[in-house]
Structure 1
């Protein structure tokens, strides 16, 4: 499976529950893991393995989050229990609005122009294979960018917060 980024939009009630009890984060993201018959809820955003490359194209770095668009993938504040690849992160309603506006200022052609397989390989951007052409921009990253923009646009339009987790 590898490392994948999932996201979930939070209603006002869910945000309140998360802030009151961070243990609620796991339930919202993963369902009731103690119930054998329970299914994991489908994430509202699943960037699969494209998350790190998208972050790199948005931020220009592999890990820094110093731009509102970069916060779309690696932003937010840690909340809840460690989930395998770090704790989930929460972006509040105002941050979601700022991120959505920053993403709306970009388009797929801008990201395509930033796509440099050698730079991604040099920066050790997950999942790798960039220099060998394993991961193609139009098939791998363009659809994920469109999903990311839709997700934040919807969350901002509904005045929702966002949970992100790398699983």
Structure 2
């Protein structure tokens, strides 16, 4: 079983509804995921985005860089339902999405991995625990770049974000 970082762009009205009715939110997430599974839109055009198993290395790297928004876990919980996966889903309000997008634009992946020793990831037990393989740090680049594009598009649209681990 894998732990996967998941994101859904939502309008302010959809966020309010998700907070009031987490069951609706879960159904909505599944609807969007199903619809986009067929078309596989680019991150900037998608409503759903996944960081696959890179969520924990991104958490480690962003924390190390003192990233101003918790984009990996979200910031405010809105449901206790375990159907969401590992822990409760959380959200980021539009202003936090904009702040994250701005920080992404000024934080390159090269800067994040500069001076990182893979042994530090292993000793910190960063999931999925394969940091001794050659090029392991490069593994997260494509998901970081996609997440950057996803957040940028959400910020331009003034969207909020649902965030969870599945």
Cα RMSD after superposing both structures: 2.4
**Range 143-152 or range 110-119, more displaced:** 110-119
Superposition TM-score, scaled by structure 2 size: 0.82
Cα distance between partner residues in 1 of 2:106 and 2:54: 20
Cα distance between partner residues in 2 of 1:134 and 1:26: 38
CA separation of 1:134/1:74 partners in 2, compared to 1, >3 Å: closer, same or farther? Answer: farther
Alignment of 1:1-167 (within 5 A): 1-31=1-31, 39=34, 42=37, 44-60=48-64, 67-69=67-69, 71-80=70-79, 81-82=81-82, 83-130=84-131, 132-133=132-133, 136-138=136-138, 140-167=139-166
Superposition TM-score, scaled by structure 1 size: 0.82
Cα distance between partner residues in 2 of 1:153 and 1:15: 18
For structure 1, list consecutive stretches of 5 or more residues without a partner in the other structure: 33-38
Higher helix share: 2
Cα distance between partner residues in 1 of 2:146 and 2:90: 19
Cα distance between partner residues in 1 of 2:112 and 2:74: 19
For structure 2, list consecutive stretches of 5 or more residues without a partner in the other structure: 38-46
Secondary structure at 1:23 match in 2: helix
**Range 147-156 or range 18-27, more displaced:** 18-27
Q: Which runs of 4+ in 1 moved over 6 A?
A: none
| 1:15 CA drift (Å) | 1.6
Aligned length: 155
Task: Report Cα offsets for 1:83-107 as digits up to 9, x if no partner.
Answer: 2210111111111111111111201
